Amino acid sequence: MVVSTEAVIGIALVELGLVVIPGPNMIYLVSRSVVQGRRAGLTSLAGVGVGFLAYLLAATAGLATLFALVPEIYLTLKLAGAAYLLWLAWNAFRPGGNSSFTPGELAPDRPRKLFGMGLLTCLLNPKIAILYISLLPQFVDPSRGQVGLQSLLLGLTQLAVGVAVNAIFVITAGSVATFFTRKPLWSHIHRYLTGTALAVFAVKLATDRTQPVAAP
């Protein structure tokens, strides 16, 4: 095999851990699903999936190498991503904050715009950029050769896990949102757990000294 089974399982577990931490993608998809229905949520999710693919293709084309050669760009992106995650954490902690399963005020949109907004939300999500730039290369084994193909296969694994889990959120969003509305205590617990997870991830991201390594 071009990639090891351990690497595939590893990247799948990392993505599973990241995708269950509410971020811009989940918040948008849940809000869209609750307000406009599952079909609208799944259409938006298709846009998110294309966003994942765009990042993957960029990383496979050598984006990590660029950041290895110009570490200042990587550091800027990493710190901006950490700051954005801290802002999301504050929104969860602040008085009057909402759970990610509390729908936002979204006007109904047509399929083309739903797809476009899902794509844009994904492309502007720093968590996805960091995943492909800093985490994905750690599962690539240069000794196996075909580094680009390894990155592509591992990235497709991440994409499959991310889209599948987000689809579950989309399909169940209405039921979960109703549960939290009826059980405000659980909504508060979920909100604080979310804020804590986002804050911890932001601190780890900001203090991580790992640098992207140029592919041979």
Render each residue's pLDDT in the chain as its tens digit; 216 residues: 778 888 888 888 878 877 776 677 777 888 788 778 888 889 999 999 999 898 888 777 766 566 667 777 767 766 776 776 777 677 767 766 555 555 555 677 788 999 998 898 888 776 677 667 666 777 777 777 777 778 888 889 989 998 998 898 888 876 766 666 667 776 677 677 767 777 877 787 677 666 555 545
CA distances from 109 to 40, 84, 116, 128 (A): 8, 26, 10, 25
86: how many CB neighbours lie within 10 A of its CB? 18
pLDDT of 150 = 81
Instruction: Give the residue among 209, 212, 210, 205 at the shortest CA–CA distance from 84.
Output: 205
pLDDT of 43 = 94
DSSP symbols for 3-70? S-HHHHHHHHHHHHHHHTS--HHHHHHHHHHHHH-HHHHHHHHHHHHHHHHHHHHHIIIIIHHHHHH-
pLDDT of 63 = 60
For the chain, the helix, strand and coil percentages under 3-state DSSP, each to the nearest 5: 80, 0, 20
Predicted TM-score (pTM) of the model is 0.68
